[in-house]
Amino acid sequence: MQNNMTVAAPMMVDGKLLSTVGEAALAVLSAADPDEKRRRARALARGWRRGSLAHAFPCAMPDQPAWPDQPILQPPGRMKRRKLGSEHGRIALIHALAHIEFVAIDLAADLIGRFGSEFPRQFCDDWVAVLADEAMHFAILNRRLHSLGSHYGALPAHAGLWDSAAHTSDDALARLAIVPMVLEARGLDVTPATIERFEAVGDSVTARLLTRIYTDEIRHVSAGTIWFQWMCDERRIPAIESWQNIVKQRFRGELKPPFNDSARRRAGLTQDFYALIA
C-alpha cells in the first residue's frame, strides 16, 4: 500500500504539478487528444503506484470529458452492422471496439475522481489498475488499426457510450451498478463470439488482442461487484435487491440473454443478480 504521508515527484501536466489522484483524474478527462489522454492515464497509474499522488480529491469532475473532433459521433440507430467478410468490415469493428476502450478510459478516471473520496484507498488501487488497462486496450486496438491502414477517428462512432455515466453522476452505487456490472458485463457476454468471428476470417492477430482484453474485463467486472457490495454493506442495504432496483430505474435498455454465466460468476456477478430481471 502506498504511503500517503510522503508525496514526491508529482505528475506534471501542461507545466502544472499535480499532487493528488483527483487532480490527475481531472487531467485525464480534460485531454481531448486520444494519445494524450492515454499518456495521462498511464502517468496517473505510475504516480499512484509510486506513491506520488495523494489520496485526495480537491476538484470537481466535468459533466462531459474532452473528446477529439474525430470520430464523428452518431446515434446508435445510425451505426451500421459490421460484417467481417472484408478488410473494411474488420476495420469497422475494430474501430468500434477502440472507441469503447477510449470512452472506458474516461469512465474509469471519472469514477476515481468523482467518487474516490467515498471509499477507502484500496478502491483507487483497483480502479487505477482498471484505468491503466483501458489505456492499454485502446493503444493496442489503435495500433491494430494502423497496421491495417486506418486509425482511430477514421470512422463514425457510437454517440451514447457516455450516457450511463451522465445518468449516474449523482450516486456511486448507481455508477457501479450500471457501468461495470451491466455494460462491462455485457462485454463478457459478447466478446467470445466476436473472437470466434475474427478467427473464422483468419484474423488471429485481432482475436489474440480481444482475448487479452476479455481476460482483463473479468477483473473489471469483479472490481465493480466487490465495491458495489462494499457500499451496500456500508449503507446496510441488500446488494442483490438494490442492484436490481437500480438497473430497473437507471438503465436505459434491457438485460438480454444469452449471458456468459461462467465469466460473470468468476467476476462475482452471479445469476442471483440478473436472472430474474433479464
Which domain CATH number covers 154? 1.20.1260.10
Confidence of residue 252 (pLDDT cuts 50, 70, 90): confident
Q: Is the pLDDT of residue 104 over 90?
A: yes
Number of domains making up the chain: 1
Residue 153 belongs to a domain:
yes
Structural domain boundaries enclosing 97: 83-277
- Considering only the C-alpha atoms of the chain, give the largest distance between any 2 of them, rounded to a whole number of Å: 57
Residue 53 belongs to a domain:
no
Residue 8 belongs to a domain:
no
Tell me the chain's radius of gyration from C-alpha atoms.
19
Residue 263 belongs to a domain:
yes
Residue 241 belongs to a domain:
yes
Complete DSSP assignment for the chain: ---TT---S-EEETTEEE-BHHHHHHHHHH--SHHHHHHHHHHHHHHHHHT-SBS---SPPPSS----S-SPEE-GGGPPPPPTTSHHHHHHHHHHHHHHHHHHHHHHHHHHHHHGGGS-HHHHHHHHHHHHHHHHHHHHHHHHHHHTT--TTSS-EES-TTHHHHHTTT-HHHHHHHIIIIIIHHHHHHHHHHHHHHHHTT-HHHHHHHHHHHHHHHHHHHHHHHHHHHHHHHHT--HHHHHHHHHHHH-SS---S---HHHHHHTT--HHHHGGG-
Residue 59 belongs to a domain:
no
Q: Mind listing the pLDDT tens digit for each residue in 182-235?
A: 999 999 999 999 999 999 999 999 999 999 999 999 999 999 999 999 999 999
Residue 28 belongs to a domain:
no
Confidence of residue 159 (pLDDT cuts 50, 70, 90): confident
Average pLDDT, the chain: 93
Given a contact cutoff of 8 angstroms between Cβ atoms, the answer to whether 210 and 250 are in contact is no
Residue 76 belongs to a domain:
no
Residues in CB range of 200: below 8 A, 6 or more apart? 84
User: Span 98-121, mean pLDDT?
Assistant: 98
